[in-house]
Amino acid sequence: MIRSARWLVGTALALAAGALLSGPTWAQTASSGTASADTSVSLMKAAANPNNWAMPALDDANTRYSSLNQINDSNANQLQVAWTFSTGVLRGHEGQPLVIGDVMYLVTPFPNTVYALDLNNNARILWQYTPTQNPDVIPVMCCDTVNRGVAYGHGKIFLHQADNTVVALNAKTGKPEWKTPLASFKVGATGTDAPIVVGNKVIAGVSGGEFGVRGFVAALDASNGHILWKAYSEGPDKDLLVDSHTTSLGKPIGEDSSLKTWKGDQWKIGGGDTWGWYSYDPKLHLIYYGSGNPSTWNPNQRPGDNKWSMTVFARNVDTGVAKWVYQMTPHDQWDYDGVNEMILADLPIDGKTVPALVHFDRNGLAYVLNRATGELIAAHKYDPAVNWTTGVDMNKDSKNYGRPAVVAEFAPGSKGVNVDYKGICPAALGSKDQQPAAYDPQTHLFYVPTNHVCMDYEPYPVAYTAGQPFVGATLSMFPGPGGYMGRFIAFDPVTGKTAWQIHDQFSDWGGALATAGNVAFYGTLKGYLRAVDAKTGKILYSFKTPSGIIGNVITYMHDGKQYVAVLSGVGGWAGIGLAAGLTDPHAGLGAVGGYAALKNYTALGGQLTVFALPGS
């Protein structure tokens, strides 16, 4: 292997050129229209209406389950394209629209243009807003210039733009009401996550683990943008917002729980970033999210468990203080970010209904925890190819309780650096990356878009320089056993059983949707929107959109008719070769070579495609 940071350098050059040639101008614009929706409606009221899609994941619990059933397993095969909308940007579209009443809101990748579309008037553009951002942010965005969606609340649309600034836009006019920078992009801190609104707070995090950015989550006052609290992933207790009552697996974490697991002051550049999804339990008043990989990717440079990277956090939304934490992958040696969504579901377990948190981690394990206490209930491989671990120690009396048993052969660093560790499954992009799963309370199954991908991994020494890549590894990626790279599965995380699966040539990078019509939806990297029978996995409908899908499927009802919508626009980590014009197989941290054939099936695009049944 050739040791380099070409994945970032090559991406920077290509993205810089591409951003200048495509999409709306960087200049701030806000052209007014007259919205027909009442944008003064509260978020709680909007979310309670099943006709809307009022939150990034539809609900606080991140279920992505809709009670709409006009489209169902008996008629989904009749779906047709109802209308389309071009975003004007040729980058990875990794989010989803919102629908509030008669208005749809969506955001593009950089330059992060936000559109408000009038559903009563042929999706006429009511307003659009393009923030003024320094293009120097482009080279420090990993991996692609994606954005995972806007949030709504208090009559505002909240945007976390690429330069790590949170902006509140008036939902009727698109005029900015406040702007709050969270950290400087000049050190690699960027914004790609979809914020959530909880009460009077806007919750947002940070990207930048590949630049040594120390992760945090911040709560902002929705009315003025003031930062109410900020909780870091690593460091002293006062920065972590933990106290004597904070537990892990039922035991107090103790004083300086993070500092003791880092060498010297490495925690200051320790990663653990928070660019994924957030959920909220209103009864427990807790928010849940995951932290990402520790920096650097060379594990030999950072001995110890590197707490609290790779961790599930449960925090009081008012104070930010953590009630409990659980580290899934101590001393991560593979870049298995723990940022994937936390799905809150009351599950039948051993004859009881348990307030569960379900998390499909990048490391290939599906975790079930009691979301009130942090108790670990189950941990199962959801891809049988996973080989870096034999499983999690579930013996509560064991000193290794809750830890994965690591297989040295597939553990980079175990034989030193500058060694090529071959055949590791899953690859660094995980058995599932950020592409969200969905939960159907009717079937008690989770519908999970996955990556069936393995890798060779070579760590090497790297020095930290603020604002420069801090990776320290070279990767090659390739299909897992069987020769395919994607599995869309219906999975029971309590039993660890797969009810059914669909194999795809490339990773299934589009987020899932479950509906009361016994239909699940997802998108493929080739660009297909699929509807499948939720109980059997039978493909009911398939339509090829103009570009590969890495966006998340939504559904809504307007004027008595149910619609299904998805953003297509290939990119993200899996599609970075296409998005950034890269050809070196080692670029994109191995993704360019692994997904080289994707160019034979799709090209760049940026389009919203909306489907419905025929008839008025």
State the amino acid at position 136 in one-letter form: D
Q: Which amino acid, 510?
A: G
Q: Which amino acid type is present at position 132?
A: T
Exposed e or buried b per residue across 59-76, where buried means at least 16 C-beta atoms within 10 angstroms of its C-beta: bbbbbbbbebebbbbeeb
Q: Is the dihedral of CA 206, 209, 212, 217 positive or negative?
A: positive
Cis peptide before 426 (omega within 30 of 0): yes
> What angle (nearest 5°) sits at the alpha carbon of residue 422, between those of residues 421 and 427?
95
Catalytic site includes residue 335: yes
Phi, psi of 236 (to 5 degrees): -70, 160
- Which helix or strand (DSSP H or E) is residue 451 part of? strand 445-451
Angle 91-93-94 from CA coordinates, rounded to 5° = 130
List all residues 6 or more positions away from 388 whose beta carbon is below 8 Å from its beta carbon.
334, 363, 364, 406, 407, 410, 411, 424, 425, 426
Q: Give dist(CA 259, CA 298) in Å, integer.
A: 19
Instruction: Convert 32-47 into a string of H (helix), E (strand) and C (coil).
Output: CCCCCCCCCCCHHHHH
- Closest of 306, 320, 305, 311 to residue 268, by C-alpha: 306
Name the residue among 511, 588, 507 with its Cα closest to residue 93: 511
Q: Which of 521, 579, 531 has its CA nearest to residue 552?
A: 521
Choose the catalytic residue: 73, 335, 433, 492: 335
Eight-state DSSP code of residue 201: E
CB 233 within 8 Å of CB 215: yes
The CA distance from 42 to 61, in Å, is: 18
Q: Which residues are catalytic?
A: 335
